[in-house]
Every structure is written in structure tokens, then in C-alpha cells.
Amino acid sequence: MKVLSVVGARPQFVKEFALGRALGDDHEEVLLHTGQHYDAELSAVFFDELGIPEPDYQLGVGSDTHGRQTAECVVGVEEAIESESPDCVLVYGDTNSTLGAAVAASKSAPELVHVESGLRSYDREMPEEVNRVLTDHAADVLFAPSERAAETLREEGIPDERVHVVGDVQYDAILAAREHARSVSTVLDDIGLSPGEFVLATVHRPRNTDDPERLTAILDALASADSEVVVPVHPRTEDRLRGYGHWEEYAERLRLVDPVGYLDFVRLLDAAARVATDSGGVQKEAFFLDTFCLTLREETEWVETVECGWNALVGADPDRIATGLAAPTPGGSKPSLYGDGTAATRIVDVLEARLTPDEVDPNPIRDR
């Protein structure tokens, strides 16, 4: 089986780490990095730390408008498909890289496989929501992380035979990364932090960074926390803060640090008293690591984490952020929502069965 895997942003590198290991030596994986995350600390470092092979293709799309980013991915992935003739194109999540690869694959012979299907925020103003919906409806094989996600796909009319509930590959990855990070990361000593005595925060989504009122409301609320707040600053966020003339102010009130590598981030998240974030991936990682999460959005794709009490939707509301910062850590047992850490193996098993020549469903493009 020959798989063309497309990655372009931090959560996708982590998921590829788990799935690439499951593919192992039994299958051929061609890795294409779109370059959507172009900062070295947000991209190349993941390949180094997780032992992911160097990509076979580097598109280098960089920062641009959503349309241009997506269009460059369509062209680059199509060229790779023509050169490699893979059995399937595998995409992750909901980025512009995901949608671009999905468009290219849906108009070509290989099967389109979407890992992390069925998630919905029901906010069409989020580019990620549009990306995930369109990719789901174009995909031939959809791997859902939970029964709830699978039910969403059924409600949208996607046939059951295309949907497989396998759990979350990010859980596979975090289990391995947590122990490794505890043994090799020195980030707590480097920054001067003690476990359980600080708040970790990440803010990077345009809805928060590109609105100066939302951004300052979030940062003012975080700065009022009783504990020290550590913020690895995304390049977009730094650019906006400097443009708004607020960089020096918040550098004094918060612990603004450069972006950190994946293992260092896992160590910070594992050791934090809680995390405040607008990232979908970090919400899940926090849940996996037993770290209470404040989501700096009005909605989430991971509604189960809110329903079980480990995630609170606080948006940019200073009062809700303050309440969440002071709230006690949830007690009692935590439910198992996203599988048992074997999602990647299950995905490979399904693909092996589907892509055996006499079991492949008719494809009018491939079979013409």
C-alpha cells in the first residue's frame, strides 16, 4: 500500500508521528509538507523531535490569504499524485492544507482518506469549519475520533460504510510524547517554573489576534491571574501586539516566551495548573494530560470535553476567564472519550482491507 500523507501545521505533525509509526516498514509512505507553518519552531522542530522522516515534498506555501494558500496546496498535491500514483491521499484535521489536498485527491484516482472526521463547531465564520465540512463530504474513507463525530457524519448523509470510529491518533502520540518529554525536556528549569504553579496560555487564531479589543481583553484577564502566566508567542500574535503598540506592556505583565518545540510544549502542558487556549489540538492534549482547559472561543469541536467538566468555554470575556482561572480542578474519574491509544493501528487495518485490489470500491476516475 502506498500512502501520500499531507501535513502542514503543528497538530498534523503530531498525528503523522503516530500514523507513520503504524504504517511502519510494511507500507510505503510518501510525506508531503505544504509549509503552511513556516516558522522553524512551529514546523521543522517537530520532525526533529519526533523522528519523523524528512518530507519527500516541500511545497513552501508559507503565509498568504486562505484562497492562495489553498490553491497552492491543490497544485502541489496534484503534482505529487501524478508523480507518485499513491493508493490513497491521507489528510488530517481542518487546515487549508487539508482542503487543498482534498480537492486535488477528489479529482484524481487515489482514495481520499480524512483522519479526524465529523468534528463541527457550527460556526461557518471559522475557515477551519468550512475546511472540515468540505473535506468530509469529499472523502472516500472517514476516520472519526468518537461516536459523536460519526453520528454527525450520518446526520449529514454520509454513508455508514465510509465512516470508521477508531479513536484519536493524537492520543496515541501524546502517550508516547509525555513520557519522553518528562525525561528529556529541561524547559521548566530553563524558564524557572515549578509544576502546578503556573498557567500556560496560547493565543493564535485570527478571530482573537486580529481584533485588538478581543486580544487585549484576553491578555488583561490572563495578567490578573494569581499564578504566573507563560505564553509561548505565535508569530502572528507577536506581529499584532507590536502593530497595536502593546508588546512592551504585556511583556511586563505576562511571561512572553519564544515558541517552544513539541516536547517542551508537552512538558509545559503536563506541568501547568491549567491552560488557556484557542487551539483545538491543545484542548485535546490538555484533556489527555489531565490539565483543566479554558477555551478562548465561544464554541469547540470537542464538546465532550466541556460536557465532562474538563474544558470551559470562556471566549474573550474577562469575567469568565477570571472565573475559570480560579475554578478548582475537576474531581472524580475522567471518562475515556477518544479511544485507548491504538487509533493509528486501527486506521492502518481499515486501509489495508480497503485497498486490497479485489476489495477496492469502483472509482470512475481510476477505472475509466
For 287, counting Cβ atoms within 10 Å of its Cβ (0-12 exposed, 13-18 middle, 19+ buried), the class is buried
Catalytic-labelled residue, pool 33, 37, 114, 204? 204
CA atoms of 282 and 285, how far apart (whole Å): 5
| DSSP bridge pairs for 164 | 143
Q: CB neighbours of 252 closer than 8 A, spacing ≥ 6?
A: none
CA atoms of 93 and 7, how far apart (whole Å): 10
| DSSP bridge pairs for 51 | none
Coil, strand or helix at 164: strand
Residue 214 amino acid letter: R
CA dihedral sign of residues 275, 276, 279, 280: positive
CA atoms of 357 and 325, how far apart (whole Å): 54
Is 204 tagged catalytic? yes
Contact by Cβ (8 Å): 214, 208: yes
CA atoms of 244 and 238, how far apart (whole Å): 10
Q: Among residues 122, 96, 318, which one has the least CA distance to residue 224?
A: 318
Contact by Cβ (8 Å): 142, 188: no
For 352, counting Cβ atoms within 10 Å of its Cβ (0-12 exposed, 13-18 middle, 19+ buried), the class is middle
Q: Among residues 6, 332, 14, 8, which one has the least CA distance to residue 168?
A: 14
Neighbours of 29 (CB within 10 A): 18
CA atoms of 196 and 14, how far apart (whole Å): 25
Active site residue ranges:
204
